Amino acid sequence: MPAAAPKIRVLIADDHAVLRAGLKLLVNSQPDMEVVGEAVNGRQAIERVRAAKPDVALLDLTMPGSGGMEALETLAEETAKVRIVILTMHDDPAYLRSVFAAGASGYVLKRSVDAELLSAIRAVGRGGTFIDPSLAGFLVRDAVGGAKAGAGRKRPAKLLSDRETQVLILVARGYSSQEIADQIFVSVKTVETYRARLAGKLGLRSRSDVVRYALQMGLLTPEAVQREQKHSA
């Protein structure tokens, strides 16, 4: 008889113990998968991935301290062997674009985690990509095209330039286009061009959209937002 195919080795990174336990039970119940490690934050995820060398890492974006986005970027820079599936509650295409640009291979919403997650692990474990079906209509070409072309062998280009990221943070902090222009020494028209690019790349139309995105991606802390609000009041 032919030898059985090796199991897909999975690491789970999420700060909620109950969810981790449920995911571990789900994954270990599959004949072709096994959990080889767990982590409660991004920094620990990086350490555990380095030690366990899983085939697939499941990362929650929102974890205390060092979050999933930082872990994703670090692991994507270090190795192409570990394929990363993002677990999140966010169905905004801005997040989808960002994580694929940072090197993710899968994106699964927590509300549909059971069946979709198993499909994602198998697809990503085979070297493919996976997007939660409820998001399939959102910018699939933009989000997945680069990942498919590279088949995960190299990290795609950054979605935002350093200057675009700088403008995004200043917008999130509540600065006007004129104030941003004064700070980064460009014209107001140039700032408006950067803001238009942010809207085009990420679909961020309002300041509340920008603030939510900046917080989720770890570009801004809740404390910083509160300080800016008090300062402008």
Model confidence pLDDT, tens digit, residues 10-42: 999 999 999 999 999 999 999 999 999 999 988
Q: What are the structural domains of the chain?
A: 8-150 (3.40.50.2300), 162-232 (1.10.10.10)
Question: How far, rounded to the nearest angstrom, does the alpha carbon of residue 9 sit from its chain's CA centroid?
Answer: 21
For residues 141 and 181, give the distance between their C-alpha atoms in angstroms, rounded to a whole number.
33
Characterize 6-18 residue by residue with b for buried, 16 or more Cβ atoms within 10 angstroms of its Cβ, and e for exposed. ebbbbbbbbbeee
Model confidence pLDDT, tens digit, residues 188-230: 999 999 888 887 777 677 788 788 777 766 676 666 656 665 5
| Global model pTM greater than 0.85 | no
Cβ–Cβ contacts within 10 Å for residue 145, how many?
14
